[in-house]
A and B are shown apart, each in its own frame.
Chain A
Amino acid sequence: MSDSILTVNNLSMAFGGLIALDKINLHVAPNAITALIGPNGAGKTTLFNCLTGFYVPTAGSMTFKPAGTGEVDLVMLLGSGWQRQDMYSPRRCGRRLYYKLFGGTHQIVRRGITRTFQNTRLFMGMTAMENLLVAQHRMISPLPLSGLVRLPSYRRAERSAIELAYRYLDEFGLGGVANRLAKELPYGQQKKLEIIRALCTNPQFLCLDEPAAGLNSAETKELAAMIRNIKNKMGVTIFIIEHDMSLVMPISDQVIVLDSGVVIAMGTPAQVSKDPQVLEAYLGSDYDQKHAGDDA
């Protein structure tokens, strides 16, 4: 599939003897909302951690292809792993060396992939505005000390970063909290602020790890609208882990089901919710027999 923004090929992740992901293959379509669901311990968060450069996968590849640019090998960006084909192409070899020296998690976000965490990880001792500015730093300061002498280029970049932050805050109804410390905000606003912070990195691909956890039903509804809004207005591809089916099923275009480190189903919400393997994974293996009994 050449039209997918993310292609995961035979991805495996093992922690010692424990295989968390076992030769995963999946595609994520651009400008869509893709949900990743599965029982606890299925490997959903592990997949996110691999995608965002948190873990270096044991084997396999992840190719990211945003609109208008070439393909990027995400594992290479982390500065790890040599492959045999590196030896045959000087260009590949050079890039591999470059990322060995300057690679790291921050390179992934530079390509437009970012994420939020299940529990909020705001910088609690900083104001909401500062949280949003940190996310935009790679756009602000090529030279670390340019902020000290306040070069005109730095001042201009910082002003536009502040403007963008205010625009997002207003758009998602947090206009009044810019100068309050993150730890003083109520939980619902912290969750929102975290998503806004992720948006401030100017992502093409946003991974949300259980954004509805701990929210009440009104807040969940608001969140669903926010996520749709992000996709439609900003053209951001969204990859979401969520247990709350009432949030996931209506908004997603594609659903991927993971169980025990293996992809067991992939398709539209309607297809997936009828898939026998999915029902089995969620409801237990005796579901079919019971069902058979009901029919008889």
Chain B
Amino acid sequence: MGYVAVKGGSDAIHNSLELVEFYRLKDAVQPLEIEQIKGQLRLAVDKVMGEGGLYSQEYAAIALKQAEGEVFEAAFIIRAFRTTLQRRFYSETLNTREMFVKRKISASFREIPGGQILGPTRDYSQRILDSSKAFETIEDVKKFVEHFKLSVDETQLQEIIQYGKVIDLLANEGLLKPINPKEDRKLVDITREAIKFPAPRSARLQMLARAETGGLMAMGYSSMRGFGSVHPTVGELRYGQVPVKLKDPSGRIRYIGKIEVTEAEMIASTSVSKKTELPSYTVGYGLCFGQNDTKVICMGILDTTMRSPDASMPANDQEFVLYHTEGIESMGFTNHLKLPHYVTFQSGLKNIREAIERKTANPSQPQPEPSKA
């Protein structure tokens, strides 16, 4: 009986889950170890942590393994896991000036304090398929790592330095737009309350930090390419480790560990509304877990665009950007179309059939051509 044959649903689900497990394992090769995923699929792990909203390489790696490498699905598993954990503390504001910098670049100046540090990046790699990776052995890996370590002379290493920021240079010269005193600076927690519009910047940045990289990129790109007006310069892009601190009940600030983050400060010029107003620059901010340049750059663009609401530009529209780049929600709703809808469909079908009957029974009424919509 066609669609109603969803009867026996529990058995069908059980069999389907068995089958999906079989598909994951059917080649009967050595199972992936969590350490391998953490180490060699580092960037996928970073994405899962960022979109999942939970900083744990280990759990993200397990989720990736469980989801056969589907980043959306893995991030979703992490989000669901996160729900079971109670929010006990809020950390102190991260100070990225304390970052142990692994990568630090600026596109706005040739030289910046502390210099340009490429760090680990594929930016200047040639995207040529390296077929030798097919034959990589543990011996090769060990050999490479040993050789790499030998090439570093530890006696020559500088002490760990904290670097000044590029935007400080601009701020000191008075080139940055002063903070709007009317800006809503309320700190909300989007995991504890539904976002309301217009949303304060804290909520917007939190939404962007958990948003899906591809979605952010589409929106950010649209603003640069033609459906917007923001084409910013990378003031500074940093990747490294920052300390996380908590205030304990006695009021003492305690260091609890460090996390890896990527941070972007995107510089854009602002429009001047009054003739008397001086032109200035504004900073669009992006921060996410792990290493993900694309994400923080697009966050930075969208942070800027959303501060100038303009319905003619999709990227400047808070509701449009924030609702539709939320990967877990958009993935869920998109896939819900696979659920049966026969009651809803029947209800609409009745309307259409009756409307057609009315039109054919009463030809004196003007008949619009079908399917013009």
Q: Is this pair of chains taken from one and the same complex?
A: no
